[in-house]
Amino acid sequence: METVVIVGLGLIGGSFGLALRKAGFSGRIIGVSSESALREATARGVIGESASLEEAVPRADLVYLAQPIGRIVETLPALAPLLGPNTLVTDVGSTKRKIVACASAHLRNALFVGGHPMAGKEARGVAAADPDLFVGRPYFLTPIVPDHLLRPPVATFLGILDSIGARRLVIPASVHDQLVAATSHLPQLLSTALACVLARQPNAHDLATSAGPGLIDSMRLAMSSFDIWSDILETNSDLIDRLLAELEAEIGRQRKKLLDSGLSAEFAQANQFAARVRGPR
Amino acid sequence: METVVIVGLGLIGGSFGLALRKAGFSGRIIGVSSESALREATARGVIGESASLEEAVPRADLVYLAQPIGRIVETLPALAPLLGPNTLVTDVGSTKRKIVACASAHLRNALFVGGHPMAGKEARGVAAADPDLFVGRPYFLTPIVPDHLLRPPVATFLGILDSIGARRLVIPASVHDQLVAATSHLPQLLSTALACVLARQPNAHDLATSAGPGLIDSMRLAMSSFDIWSDILETNSDLIDRLLAELEAEIGRQRKKLLDSGLSAEFAQANQFAARVRGPR
């Protein structure tokens, strides 16, 4: 693999460039992004060159789409006429059904493997890029044709993911979207809902200033920007809605039991699941 | 203040003893607790002596009840015949209406100020006691008679709280219970509800193993033990139920908007409240 084109130089795109270099990649890294992001990415050593999509993609062995979901879906059709037969296209979109459907429709003859690194932090933009962002994190891969995983450019990319420390998980797009609806989108909306309910209390000011560590932690996700979440929620709303309905029912059950038999069984079930999520202490 | 009696040597009682010593208190600290807790507390230097309630309380200038709510409510009536006219009784129960009502009924002629340090950590027991547990944390005080705050033994106790680094907040018991229903009990039940919903998914195992940082944080409170929460929920169920009803309605609203106009306004409101809780970054 000689030439990597990173389209979209935010936190993830920038971190991928830095991680590539840290892992010893010695080829070209070309950036396609806004002027300000390109300037910052060049200054931080994320990219060696910048170019337009039309100039960069024909030279690419790997096209790494690190844009928001809505932009990825706009970029994919534009790639079709620019791609060589062995160029691998991958993306980092946080939902996969819509992107995989779009790639299937527009890149029928190309090599495409959807991707989603479960990595992030509160700071955004290439200024926050971190070569270790992917270390130990799940990295979902959703091929449109399972056989593509055996093709040499894909094998090379999988080796790159290993070298930057990511934990690869190959799953169908629909299974991916179910997973993230539960592990990411539901916790996000719960934190947002909790913040909204508390913000509307008459004593909201006192609540904010007397918060203990539990509430402080519970408000971390509520800080998330709708800019990022708008596309995610829109492209996974059916699966999220099903889980929100279950949560609504669970809260109704809690209310009944709170005033009646108590929540001992619920705490026991939650203890057990939480222990599996958080691992041995 | 010469003699402090700590009743109940768990995390909070043990930490109060260590904090007293660290702040330079040179009087007697007598422990009343289970045999095993007394042994551990003596070994860690939390207490200098141990005794029964009946032996210890008549010698006390300050009786510090660091038991669970249910046990505090049992201890208060037993204190009445043992207290001198200038002995201050305080407690650390996580809800205050029931305890203050009980103290008003049974300690009518004594000096009682309810207390609730918003301090804690995951580890429990006197083995986890920490002299810095109260530093920078809110410490609620709910007097049964506001004038009691002016009495010399109370003034001395307030000075002790300052010296161990706690942030004193004097409020009525009912206002306290509203605050903690929102800032502590609601986040706890939400984390428990989220864990229960996820635990019941057919792919619960995959959810647990592919969790990102958002879910991992969201599951911290779900680890909480029902032993501790049983009393708290029972003595504050009316206020908690009201908030759970608001949350249920908010989730219903989210579901509608998710499929319709989007959650931009909700994210903006949540961003603002969360920023106030988490302070300047």
Could you report the per-residue pLDDT of A196-231, keeping only the tens digit for each?
Answer: 999 999 999 999 988 888 899 999 999 999 998 999
**pLDDT at residue B245, rounded to an integer:** 98
Chain B residues with beta carbon closer than 8 angstroms to that of A259: 237, 241
What residue in B sits closest to A186 (Cα-Cα)? B194
| d(CA A143, nearest CA chain B) in Å | 18
Across the range A131-156, mean pLDDT stands at 93
A57-94 b/e (C-beta count within 10 Å ≥ 16 → b)? bebbbbbbbbbbbebbbebbeebeebbeeebbbbbbbb
For A19-28, how does the pLDDT look when each residue is reduced to its tens digit (9 = 90+)? 999 999 999 9
| d(CA B225, nearest CA chain A) in Å | 7
Nearest to B189 among A226, A254, A259 (CB): A254
**pLDDT at residue B280, rounded to an integer:** 65
E-assigned strand segments in chain B? 3-7, 28-32, 49-50, 62-65, 88-91, 111-117, 138-143, 167-170
For B74-109, how does the pLDDT look when each residue is reduced to its tens digit (9 = 90+)? 999 999 999 999 999 999 999 999 999 999 999 988
What residue in B sits closest to A227 (Cα-Cα)? B264
Chain B residues with beta carbon closer than 8 angstroms to that of A134: none
What residue in B sits closest to A181 (Cα-Cα)? B207
E-assigned strand segments in chain A? 3-7, 28-32, 49-50, 62-65, 88-91, 111-117, 138-143, 167-170
**pLDDT at residue B32, rounded to an integer:** 98
Residue with more model confidence, A214 or B130: B130
**pLDDT at residue B145, rounded to an integer:** 87
- Answer whether A251 sits within 8 Å of B247, measured CB to CB: yes
| d(CA B261, nearest CA chain A) in Å | 10
**pLDDT at residue B151, rounded to an integer:** 93
Chain A residues with beta carbon closer than 8 angstroms to that of B223: 271, 274-275, 278
Is residue A194 within 8 Å of B247, Cβ to Cβ? yes
Selected residue of B184, B188, B247, B257 to mutate for chain A interface (largest A Cβ count, 10 A): B247
**pLDDT at residue A184, rounded to an integer:** 95
Positive or negative, the CA dihedral A209, A212, A215, A217 is positive
Q: For B54, phi and psi rounded to 5 degrees?
A: -65, -35
For B237-269, how does the pLDDT look when each residue is reduced to its tens digit (9 = 90+)? 999 999 999 999 999 999 999 988 899 999 999
Chain A residues with beta carbon closer than 8 angstroms to that of B187: 194, 214-215, 218
Q: Nearest to residue A64, comparing CAs of A133, A2, A130, A4?
A: A4
Across the range A268-274, mean pLDDT stands at 98
**pLDDT at residue B10, rounded to an integer:** 96
- Answer whether B211 sits within 8 Å of A277, measured CB to CB: yes
Predicted ipTM of the assembly:
0.91
Is residue B251 within 8 Å of A251, Cβ to Cβ? yes
**pLDDT at residue B38, rounded to an integer:** 97
Across the range B163-186, mean pLDDT stands at 96
Residue with more model confidence, B232 or B279: B232
Q: How many CA atoms lie within 13 A of A109 on its CB side?
A: 7
- Answer whether B277 sits within 8 Å of A215, measured CB to CB: yes
**pTM of the model as a whole:** 0.90
**pLDDT at residue A280, rounded to an integer:** 65
Q: Which one-letter amino acid corresponds to residue A45? A: G
Pairing relation of β-strands A111-117 and A138-143?
A: antiparallel
**pLDDT at residue B213, rounded to an integer:** 83
Nearest to A273 among B199, B224, B268 (CB): B199
Pairing relation of β-strands A62-65 and A88-91?
A: parallel
Chain B residues with beta carbon closer than 8 angstroms to that of A277: 207-208, 211, 215-216, 219
Chain B residues with beta carbon closer than 8 angstroms to that of A203: 175, 178-179, 182
- Answer whether A197 sits within 8 Å of B226, measured CB to CB: no
Residue B281 banded pLDDT, cuts 50, 70, 90: very low
Inform me whether the pLDDT recorded for A97 exceeds 60: yes
Inform me whether the pLDDT recorded for A89 exceeds 50: yes
Is residue A29 within 8 Å of A47, Cβ to Cβ? yes
Across the range A102-127, mean pLDDT stands at 91
Across the range B205-220, mean pLDDT stands at 90
DSSP string, B87-133: -EEEE--S--HHHHHHHHHH-TTSEEEEEEE----SS-SGGG--TTT
Sequence-separated (6 or more) residues with CB below 8 Å from residue A141? A113, A114, A115, A149, A158, A168, A169, A170, A171
Nearest to B215 among A183, A198, A229 (CB): A183
Residue A146 banded pLDDT, cuts 50, 70, 90: confident
**pLDDT at residue A120, rounded to an integer:** 77
- Answer whether B248 sits within 8 Å of A244, measured CB to CB: no
Cα–Cα separations (whole angstroms), residue A243 to A271, B216, B217, B243: 20, 18, 19, 21
Chain A residues with beta carbon closer than 8 angstroms to that of B92: none
- Answer whether A184 sits within 8 Å of B215, measured CB to CB: yes
Q: How much of chain A exceeds pLDDT 70, in percent?
A: 99
What residue in A sits closest to B275 (Cα-Cα)? A223
**pLDDT at residue A281, rounded to an integer:** 44
- Answer whether A252 sits within 8 Å of B252, measured CB to CB: no
What residue in B sits closest to A214 (Cα-Cα)? B184
Is residue B27 within 8 Å of B146, Cβ to Cβ? no
Average pLDDT, chain A: 95
| d(CA A32, nearest CA chain B) in Å | 28
Residue with more model confidence, A120 or B172: B172
Sequence-separated (6 or more) residues with CB below 8 Å from residue B3? B27, B28, B29, B30, B59, B60, B61, B62
What residue in B sits closest to A231 (Cα-Cα)? B262
Burial class (CB in 10 A: 0-12, 13-18, 19+), B108: exposed
**pLDDT at residue B269, rounded to an integer:** 98
Across the range A138-157, mean pLDDT stands at 92
- Answer whether A138 sits within 8 Å of B210, measured CB to CB: yes
